Amino acid sequence: MRPSSLPFFIAVAALAAGPAPAQTIGGNPGPQYNYVCPHADGQPALECYFDAVQHLYTMCRNVKSIEIIEFGYEKSAEGTNSERPYRAALKDALRSKHVVEALRALHEIWLSALTGLAWRSGESDADYKTRVARPYDDFRERIAGIRVVAASKPEPAAKPASRKKASAKANP
């Protein structure tokens, strides 16, 4: 074989071999992207599931531990603890109807964004990541607006009419 034909044969052999198959673990791209079953690289789906049961339980247990640290054992079981800061903010904002309305709108957008985290059939990885990152801009804008309104002096409440004026109007 001539030395100049060696690169040609290497190129033909590489093309014939085809692309390297993508490695998946339990249906997830792996191993560098394997958060669901990180200890099952190169193993079949059943092993991935067994790993996921323990790993994801650990992640959920860690979140519950944070709730227990923050709210105590008894209050950590009172449903969604994300509601506590929202309720406290509403209570704090009662002096301003505009702030309360804006907080409620922000909360609705946040809840909608949470339900929107689900992947949509046919959506590419890049499209999904772009879509689920979009709410942050809306959150930041709304939060900035709420802060401005909340920092402003509250409008004075209308004073009730004095009893003399009210009775004079009633008895002309």
The tens digit of pLDDT for each residue in 102-119 reads: 999 999 998 899 888 888
Residue 4, pLDDT > 70, answer: no
Band (pLDDT 50/70/90 cuts) for residue 155 is low
Alpha helices in 34-162 (DSSP H): 45-75, 83-92, 97-115, 125-133, 135-151
Most confident of 18-32, 67-81, 128-142: 128-142
Taking alpha carbons only, the member of 53, 56, 54, 31 closest to residue 43 is 31
Sign of CA dihedral 96, 100, 103, 105: negative
* Domain assignments of the chain as residue spans, ordered by start: 22-79, 82-154
Query: What does the alpha-carbon distance between residue 89 and residue 22 come to, in Å, rounded to a whole number?
Result: 48
- State if pTM tops 0.75: no
Q: Which residue(s) pair with 29 in the sheet?
A: 24
Work out the percent of the chain whose per-residue pLDDT is above 90: 17
Query: What does the alpha-carbon distance between residue 44 and residue 62 come to, in Å, rounded to a whole number?
Result: 27
Q: Please, are residues 140 and 110 in contact by the beta-carbon 8 Å criterion?
A: no
The tens digit of pLDDT for each residue in 123-149 reads: 888 898 899 999 999 999 999 999 999
Residue 13, pLDDT > 50, answer: no
pLDDT of residue 168: 55
pLDDT of residue 7: 44
